[in-house]
Amino acid sequence: MSDQKLKIIPLGGLGEFGMNSMAIRYGDDIIVVDAGMMFPDDELLGVDIVTPDFSYLEQNAAHVRGLILTHGHEDHIGGVPFLLKQISVPVYGTAFTLALVERRLEEHQMTDDAKLNTVKPGDRLELGPFSIEFIHVTHSLVSCVALAITTPLGVIIHTGDYKVDPTPTDNLLFDLHTLAAYGKRGVLLLMSDSTNVDRPGYTESERAVGPRLEDLFVRSPRRLVISCFSSSIHRLQQILDFAHQYGRKVAFFGRSMTNTTEIAHDLGLLTIPDGVLLRPQDAMSLPPNKVVAVVSGTQGEPMSALSRVAVDNHKHLSIERGDTVALSARIIPGNEKGIYRMINHISRRGADVVYGTMNPPIHVSGHGSAEELRLVLNLVRPKYFVPVHGEYRQLARHAKLAQHLSHSGLKETFILESGNTLEIDDHGARKAEDVPVGRVCIDSGTLDEVVEEFVIRDRRHLSEDGFVLPIIAISKSTGRCEGLPEIVSRGFMSSEDSTGVLQEARQVVLKTLESSTAEERGDWGVMQEKIRTDLKRFLNKQTSRRPLIMPVILEV
């Protein structure tokens, strides 16, 4: 019997999409599974990416034995550079995953200090009291693994992202046998991907996209432009194979697309047929019916390659009447407006745009649907279950999906959100004291990169109500105001509507100055606050708006 406790501490990715990161602690030893990021929503003005708050790991840096990565999607590896800036810790992942991480580290000039260790499915890793076996799983990305983590209290299975693809394009099947073997021996805790729990049945195989892609090659009379996620190596392989079959050449556009294909090709994960590859600068010089352009930017990101192509702002590629443009990716919720705007631009140029749901599909998900999640539950048959990766509604539905196991060994299911802690010992499992978590907003254009909450609040304030700048000239000798204050505003009211209000506002500022004592007028900090308070009250009463007010006092 052990008196040590096993703690499961989600730092991100539970109750939200993205920022996947999970700390697992036994006694004084900690391992971390993934360190992801998410892209900001519309309210996080000027923010480029969002990462978990890794303060808990920083406070316990001496106890962190390693960071283990399940696969190379940004929501699982995007936060790695920011975590390694805070703590020095060895990183473990498959060759492809670590190659993607290395590119991120190069951007931060951190490659010399990083300790990257390559593993492959079937390998075992010993980190303190943890013994970790890597299990191959199928997903929309290559080289993905689940983790079987043996602890002194029992085995934890962490699935990472997965679907059970019976016919993967690389013929590397999901290793259900190893998963089932652990299930037979007994699993203490299962943590399983919940992303597609609300989809019934099974997710279609990656091969299901093949017929639609081939149809595009057969039927497109002119240039074929295909946009997919740069990480979709299986999809890119099918495009290259069809291009070779139908006598077209392939040019890759977009930095992420170029980088990822180079990495996959170097590692032998992407086979490029002889004579198929075309330089981007030569794409417009060949006959249109001999070219396939593979372009990044499926989500309509403003500066992505496809967004620039859509408005004729790309130096090597233009869309012309009769071309076919296919978006071979799902529309991520929240990106609809940007994507449809981009599709409108492409349609104005006379191209035929293929997107959305159709049969056969132009895109299939990389996440397992309800029956695949049920299959994993049935194979593993855990004592405790924690659904991961998803919003609360999906975690709750996944928990409900597991109820049928209650008669065959499942003692309890816990729905955790980021910051909650699950504690397991010889006496059972229970929720324990929360740890502080949150999100860190990164603005790559700033010196220290991290954007404080008050900066985002001010940006939001400015975007909604604008700003008002009262400028007051105060005599150095008398301490009195020299003439009427000037008031400048931007984004507050139209010039026609604001004239009368701002004239009255000048009198409000003047009255505040005149009613202040000589001592107050000698303290600029006090005067700025008094002016801000009085002007804020006046403008809110007159306009029901709350602009950002920044008094400027000039000594003359």
User: How distant, in Å, are the alpha carbons of 180, 498, 549 from that of 489?
Assistant: 67, 9, 9
Instruction: Name the active-site residue from 29, 75, 165, 193.
Output: 193
> 13-34 in b/e burial notation, b at 16+ Cβ within 10 A?
bbbbbbbbbbbbbbbebbbbbb
Q: What is the DSSP letter of 350?
A: T
- Give CA 318 to chain center in angstroms: 29
Own/partner long-range contacts of 339-348 (Cβ < 8 Å, ≥24 apart): 339/298, 339/299, 339/300, 340/300, 341/300, 342/297, 342/300, 342/306, 342/307, 342/310, 345/310, 345/311, 346/310, 346/319
Of 422, 366, 376, 428, the C-alpha closest to 402 is 376
> 273-300 in b/e burial notation, b at 16+ Cβ within 10 A?
eeebebebeebeeeeeeebbbbbbbbbb
Instruction: Name the active-site residue from 158, 367, 389, 398.
Output: 367
Give the three-state DSSP class for 294. strand
Q: What is the DSSP letter of 4?
A: -
- Give CA 270 to chain center in angstroms: 25
Q: What is the DSSP letter of 267?
A: T
User: How distant, in Å, are the alpha carbons of 51, 135, 314, 322, 443 from that of 455?
Assistant: 17, 43, 34, 47, 11
Q: 524-543 vs 495-514: helix axis angle to the nearest 10? A: 140
Measured CA to CA, the distance from residue 366 to residue 80 in angstroms comes to 22
Measured CA to CA, the distance from residue 472 to residue 500 in angstroms comes to 19
Q: What is the DSSP letter of 167?
A: S
Give yes or no for a cis peptide into 10 (omega within 30° of 0).
no
The stretches of 413-494 forming alpha helices (DSSP H) are: 453-465
Measured CA to CA, the distance from residue 230 to residue 310 in angstroms comes to 18
DSSP string spanning 227-258? Answer: E--TT-HHHHHHHHHHHHHTT-EEEEESHHHH
Measured CA to CA, the distance from residue 425 to residue 212 in angstroms comes to 52
Would residue 193 show up in a list of annotated catalytic residues for this protein? yes
Measured CA to CA, the distance from residue 77 to residue 107 in angstroms comes to 14
Measured CA to CA, the distance from residue 138 to residue 124 in angstroms comes to 19
Q: Give the residue numbers annotated as catalytic, written as ranges.
A: 193, 367
